[in-house]
Amino acid sequence: MKLKYFSHSAFQITANSGKVILIDPFLTGNPTAPVTAESVEADFIILTHAHGDHIGDAFDIAKRCDSLIIAVNELADYAISKGLKAHNMHIGGSYNFEFGKVKFTIAHHGSMTPDGQYAGEPAGVLITVDGKTIYHTGDTGLFYDMKLIGEMNHIDYMLAPIGDNFTMGIDDAVKAVELTNPDVAIPIHYNTFPVIEADPEEFKKKVEALGIKSMVLAYGQEFEL
């Protein structure tokens, strides 16, 4: 599979089968986005929670591409209420889709749609495609159960927020990586706006001091996992 970074918390996974999965596609209004919402295609869109910088362009893309939205129950129902296709899941549950397996985890944060609708609990997500597992933590503070998540699942790539203010900052994110023990840790959710400015190289250095690999992705960078 291939993983492409659209900045902030937004990613595109392309499975070996050719299926395209977007995660939290916040492109319009994102000053760091390397592509426009109109230029991306998606078979599936996974949402961690409903904040504007995560739900982003998801519904417009889903409408245009007839994508299936995958989210916790309340957010999936909200998508359905807007005329979209959705697969309702919830924290702790996993499901095998044609591209691979999705499992939602806890995240300590909030979740409300931009128009003020309750959207259930925020979540992190484990996505297993072509034999590799990505743990996108969503927006979250540090929590000790990351150790359990790492014990129960072999994490190949952990995508962890470092921007502070709304989520973990660098030192908490480094601790999160230590608890989860992935093969590779990638910083996300930073430098999109002044309030979440952070130095990804500092995160990388501190993660590598633990003996864990880290990659800082450029906006628009894609690589083979």
Question: Contact region for Ni ion (CB under 5 A) — 15-23, 98-106, 137-145, 183-191?
Answer: 137-145
Q: Is 120 helix (H, G, I), strand (E, B) or coil?
A: coil
- Alpha-carbon span 115 to 41, nearest angstrom: 25
In the bound state with Mn ion, the residue whose beta carbon lies nearer, of 138 and 182, is: 138
Q: How many residues does the chain have?
A: 225
Q: Which does 57 bind (CB under 5 to 8 A by kind): Mn ion, Ni ion, none?
A: none
Task: Tell whether residue 139 is a contact of Mn ion (CB under 5 A).
Answer: yes
Provide, rounded to whole angstroms, the least separation between the CB of residue 211 and Ni ion: 31
Q: 46 with 72: CB under 8 angstroms?
A: no
Q: How many residues belong to the site for Mn ion (CB under 5 A)?
A: 2
Q: Measuring CA to CA, which residue among 104, 159, 103 is closest to residue 128?
A: 103
CA atoms of 177 and 184, how far apart (whole Å)? 9
Q: How far is the CB of 51 from Ni ion (least distance, A)?
A: 3
Counting contacts by CB under 5 A, is residue 24 touching Ni ion?
A: no
- Report the nearest approach of Mn ion to the CB of residue 172 (Å): 15
Using CB under 5 A as the binding rule, whether residue 8 contacts Ni ion is answered as: no
β-bridge pairing 2-5 and 20-23? unpaired
Question: Measured between alpha carbons, how far is 84 from 57 in angstroms, rounded to an integer?
Answer: 13
Classify residue 18 as exposed, middle or buried by CB count within 10 Å of its CB (0-12, 13-18, 19+). Answer: exposed
Q: Is 216 helix (H, G, I), strand (E, B) or coil?
A: coil
4 binds Ni ion (CB under 5 A): no
> Is residue 139 at the binding interface for Ni ion, with CB under 5 A as the rule?
yes
Q: How far is the CB of 170 from Ni ion (least distance, A)?
A: 18
- Contact letters for Ni ion, residues 34-63 (x by CB under 5 A): -----------------x------------
Give contact residues for Ni ion (rule: CB under 5 A). 51, 139
Binding residues for Mn ion, per CB under 5 A?
A: 53, 139
